C-alpha cells in the first residue's frame, strides 16, 4: 500500500466515510448549484446500505497510511456514487490507480516548488540589487558568468533555467566553467521545460512563461515597497 503525506483531516468512523462519499459526489455534480458544506451532510442512508465496506475503508488510513479523505475524493472523481460503485471502493485496481496518482502528483509538486523557490530567490535578488525586470537580472548573471553558481547553490533550479528562451545560445557565450556546469541543463532543456509545464497544468490548470511569472511577482513586491515608502513619506 502507498504511504503518503497526510492531509490535516482524519476520518474517525465508517459513517464519516459515507459522509465524505456523499459530499464529494455533490461537489462533482453539476446539477447541484447551491453551496455544499460537509457539516450539512449526514451520509446515514448510504452508510446503512454499505456499512461493511465503509468500516473496512478505515484500514487504509489506520494501517496503511493512506490519506483516506484524498482517496475518497479521487474515487468520486472516477466513479459516480451508485450502490454498485460504492461496493468497488476497496478493489485493488482502484487503489493501484490511486497510488499512481499520488506519485504523479508528488512529482509535479516537487517541480512546481522548485520553480516557485527560484522565482522567490530571483525576486529577492532583484529587489536587493535594484533590478526592475527579470530580463535585466538574468542578463547580468549571464554576462558576469554567475548563472552556473546560482544553479549549483540551488538558488535557481534547472527547470527555471530551461524556461529561459535561447538558453543554449546564451550559455555558449559564457566562460568554460559555466558551460560545463550548465551543459546537462541545456541538453535536457526540452524535457525539463515539458516537466515544468506539465506540473503547472496538473496543479494550476495553466501553462506559464517563466519570465512573465517572475516579472509579475517582482512587480507585486516593487509595488508593496513603493506603497510603504509613500506611506512613510506621508506620515512625515
Instruction: Please indicate, yes or no, if residue 4 is contained in any of the structural domains.
Output: no
Within this chain, do residues 136 and 83 fall inside the same structural domain, yes or no? Answer: no
pLDDT of amino acid 32: 83
Rounded mean pLDDT of the chain? 91
Query: Mean pLDDT over residues 180-202, rounded?
Result: 96
Instruction: Please indicate, yes or no, if residue 116 is contained in any of the structural domains.
Output: yes
Residue pair 49/89 in contact (Cβ under 8 Å)? The answer is no
Within this chain, do residues 124 and 70 fall inside the same structural domain, yes or no? Answer: no
- Each residue's pLDDT tens digit, 39-92: 889 999 999 999 999 999 999 999 999 999 999 999 999 999 999 999 999 999
How many separate domains does the chain show? 2
Task: Assign 1 a pLDDT band (cuts: 50, 70, 90).
Answer: very low
For 161, the domain range is: 105-235
Within this chain, do residues 74 and 166 fall inside the same structural domain, yes or no? Answer: no
| Residue with more model confidence, 34 or 103 | 103
Contacts of 97 (CB under 8 A, 6+ apart): 74, 78
Task: Assign 227 a pLDDT band (cuts: 50, 70, 90).
Answer: confident
How many Å from the N-terminal Cα to the C-terminal Cα in the chain? Answer: 64
Q: Which residues of 57-92 are buried (b: 16+ CB within 10 A; e: fewer)?
A: bbebbeeeebbbbbbbbbbbeebebeeebbeebeee
Within this chain, do residues 39 and 127 fall inside the same structural domain, yes or no? Answer: no
Query: Mean pLDDT over residues 173-199, rounded?
Result: 97
Within this chain, do residues 130 and 163 fall inside the same structural domain, yes or no? Answer: yes
Q: 108: which 3 cell numbers?
A: 509535479
Closest CA to 128 of 225, 43, 32, 7: 225
Within this chain, do residues 75 and 110 fall inside the same structural domain, yes or no? Answer: no
Cα distances (angstroms) measured from residue 168 to each of 164, 194, 207: 9, 16, 22
pLDDT of amino acid 6: 46
Contacts of 212 (CB under 8 A, 6+ apart): none
Within this chain, do residues 207 and 113 fall inside the same structural domain, yes or no? Answer: yes
Within this chain, do residues 119 and 178 fall inside the same structural domain, yes or no? Answer: yes
Amino acid at each position: 500500500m502507498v504511504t503518503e503525506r497526510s492531509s490535516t483531516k482524519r476520518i474517525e468512523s465508517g459513517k464519516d466515510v459515507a459522509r465524505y462519499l456523499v459530499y464529494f459526489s455533490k461537489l462533482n455534480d453539476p446539477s447541484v448549484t447551491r453551496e455544499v458544506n460537509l457539516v450539512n451532510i449526514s451520509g446515514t442512508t448510504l452508510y446503512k446500505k454499505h456499512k461493511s465496506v465503509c468500516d473496512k475503508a478505515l484500514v487504509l488510513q489506520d494501517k496503511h497510511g493512506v490519506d483516506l479523505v484524498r482517496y475518497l475524493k479521487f474515487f468520486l472523481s472516477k466513479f459516480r456514487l451508485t450502490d454498485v460503485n460504492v461496493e468497488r471502493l476497496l478493489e485493488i485496481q482502484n487503489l493501484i490507480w490511486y497510488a499512481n496518482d499520488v506519485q504523479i502528483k508528488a512529482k509535479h509538486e516537487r517541480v512546481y516548488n522548485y520553480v516557485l523557490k527560484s522565482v522567490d530567490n530571483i525576486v529577492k535578488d532583484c529587489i536587493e540589487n535594484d533590478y526592475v525586470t527579470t530580463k535585466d537580472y538574468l542578463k547580468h548573471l549571464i554576462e558576469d558568468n554567475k548563472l552556473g553558481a546560482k544553479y549549483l547553490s540551488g538558488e535557481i533550479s534547472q527547470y527555471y533555467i530551461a524556461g529561459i528562451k535561447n538558453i543554449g545560445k546564451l550559455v555558449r557565450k559564457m566562460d568554460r566553467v559555466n558551460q560545463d556546469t550548465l551543459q546537462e541543463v541545456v541538453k535536457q532543456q526540452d524535457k525539463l521545460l515539458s516537466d515544468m509545464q506539465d506540473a503547472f497544468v496538473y496543479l494550476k490548470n495553466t501553462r506559464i512563461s517563466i519570465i512573465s511569472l517572475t516579472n509579475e511577482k517582482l512587480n507585486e513586491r516593487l509595488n508593496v515597497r513603493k506603497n510603504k515608502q509613500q506611506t512613510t513619506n506621508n506620515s512625515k
